[in-house]
Amino acid sequence: MDAAARLFSERGYHGTSMQHLGQALGLQRGSLYAHIGSKEELLFDVVNQGAERFLGMARHAASSGEPAAARLRALLVGHVSTAAQHLEASTVFLNEWRYLSPVPRAQIQAKRDLYETVVRRIISDGVAAGEFDPGVNVAMAGRLVLSAGNWIYTWYHPDGALSASAIGAELFDLILNGLAKEGPA
Amino acid sequence: MDAAARLFSERGYHGTSMQHLGQALGLQRGSLYAHIGSKEELLFDVVNQGAERFLGMARHAASSGEPAAARLRALLVGHVSTAAQHLEASTVFLNEWRYLSPVPRAQIQAKRDLYETVVRRIISDGVAAGEFDPGVNVAMAGRLVLSAGNWIYTWYHPDGALSASAIGAELFDLILNGLAKEGPA
């Protein structure tokens, strides 16, 4: 699965052949098929493991009992850290999952929807508790949080100046406080 | 180029063969090669046109002479509208460009860097003018704006409830004002 995550993230799912996988593992194509069912099963396994990793982290962040801002912060920091720790698998989860055929794709879509629901619930909790502005568009705010976290895979470098959790914290502070000097207009 | 943008966005660059392109255009492979040099040249042309489209829009938004917040708003609204109007080409520009070989890839990277410089300059103008909080991390705020705009290609639907420019405006308001009720902590 590590080899598949690396190859699918570098070359794309369609650009990776069973021969590439065999070469990466020092196995003949025939021996490879003794271990895995098909290239698509391997894609599903990498994508599904990615989905479970993000969902597990989100459930943990959401259930801490802390105020909504602290929970949303933990979720975004956790999201960026998870993506950074498993950069290749996360790239495949975020990018190549769309090449799954309809049934496995729908299974992954359900997990993505669930993740988004967790994010939106924290935001609507924060609005209900008076922590967040009552005018916040909850769905759009959820998308902004996910966009910030998901786009990471295109620019994060392990040797960059900021750690993944520092990046998550800075993005969260921007989303919480905004650019404007005087607060909400 | 329209057919290539559609096929590359649906199937990925590596998942699209010259045969697919020929079928989409009702041309034999041989006739296709009379019109284009190679599949990679076609990828470069689609990606480069996407880069020029985003850069042209950004230069226009940046040079209006309005306050920084209005310029950044115009840029994000323009970004989302451009992505939505050319959804397939933008998907290829944002996603498949990484499969270019080193020299054409560096040409596109330079245009992406220039685009990011335009975004950051508007934000630092806003900080210098006292419109934006002096504590804003300009590079990170630029990435948040780009993340919000770029991730659009994964969730925008032309038949959704909000127009592309309304989505851009709502994302901008969130980035300007933040979620918090009381403004910057």
- Choice among A100-104, B55-59, B96-100, B179-183 with the minimum mean pLDDT: B179-183
The answer to whether B65 and B121 are in contact (CB under 8 A) is no
Measured distance CA(A18)–CA(A4) in Å, rounded: 10
Indicate the pLDDT class of residue B184, thresholds 50, 70 and 90: very low
Residue B185 predicted with pLDDT over 60: no
User: Two tokens at B163?
Assistant: 């127009």
Measured distance CA(A55)–CA(A87) in Å, rounded: 16
pLDDT of residue A85: 97
Interface contact flag, B170 A137, Cβ < 8 Å: yes
Output the CA–CA distances (angstroms, integers) from residue B50 to A124, B2, B74, B87, B169, in the order listed.
36, 12, 18, 10, 22
pTM value > 0.90: yes
DSSP per position, A15-81: T--HHHHHHHHT--HHHHHHH-S-HHHHHHHHHHHHHHHHHHHHHHHHTS-S-HHHHHHHHHHHHHH
Residue A184 predicted with pLDDT over 50: no
Interface contact flag, A133 B95, Cβ < 8 Å: no
Q: Which residues contact B184 (CB under 8 A, 6 or more apart)?
A: A177, A178, A181, A183, B133, B135, B178
Q: For the residues A66-73, what does the mean pLDDT come to?
A: 98
Instruction: Indicate the SS3 state at residue A12.
Output: coil
pLDDT of residue A166: 97
Q: For the residues B8-14, what does the mean pLDDT come to?
A: 94
Q: pLDDT tens across B154-176, in order? A: 999 999 999 999 999 999 999 99
CATH class for the domain made up of A39-177: mainly alpha
Residue B183 predicted with pLDDT over 60: no
Measured distance CA(A172)–CA(A120) in Å, rounded: 15
Measured distance CA(B107)–CA(B91) in Å, rounded: 18
The mean predicted confidence, pLDDT, of chain B is: 95
Predicted ipTM? 0.94
Q: pLDDT tens across B69-85, in order? A: 999 999 999 999 999 99
3-state helix, strand, coil in chain A (%, to 5): 75, 0, 25
Indicate the pLDDT class of residue A182, thresholds 50, 70 and 90: low
Residue type, A169: A
Q: For the residues A49-55, what does the mean pLDDT come to?
A: 97
A126 φ, ψ to 5°?
-65, -35
pLDDT of residue B70: 98
Interface contact flag, A175 B179, Cβ < 8 Å: yes
Measured distance CA(A169)–CA(A6) in Å, rounded: 27
Residue B61 predicted with pLDDT over 50: yes
Indicate the pLDDT class of residue A185, thresholds 50, 70 and 90: very low
CATH class for the domain made up of B38-177: mainly alpha
pLDDT of residue B141: 98
CB-CB neighbours of A30 under 10 Å: 9
Interface contact flag, B177 A178, Cβ < 8 Å: yes
The mean predicted confidence, pLDDT, of chain A is: 94
Q: For the residues B116-128, what does the mean pLDDT come to?
A: 98
Q: Which residues of B touch A181 (CB under 8 A)?
A: 130-134, 184
Measured distance CA(B21)–CA(A92) in Å, rounded: 25
Q: pLDDT tens across A113-126, in order? A: 999 999 999 999 99
Interface residues of B toward A, Cβ cutoff 8 Å, are: 11-15, 69, 72, 95, 99, 123, 126, 130-134, 136-137, 140-141, 143-144, 146-148, 150-152, 154-155, 167, 170-171, 174-185
B160 φ, ψ to 5°?
-70, 175
Interface contact flag, B148 A148, Cβ < 8 Å: yes
Q: Which residues contact A64 (CB under 8 A, 6 or more apart)?
A: A70, A71, A74
Cα distance from N-terminal residue to C-terminal residue, chain A: 49
Q: pLDDT tens across B132-142, in order? A: 999 999 999 99
Interface contact flag, A15 B11, Cβ < 8 Å: no
Residue B182 predicted with pLDDT over 70: no
A180 pairs with which residues across the strands?
A: B132
Measured distance CA(B97)–CA(B13) in Å, rounded: 9
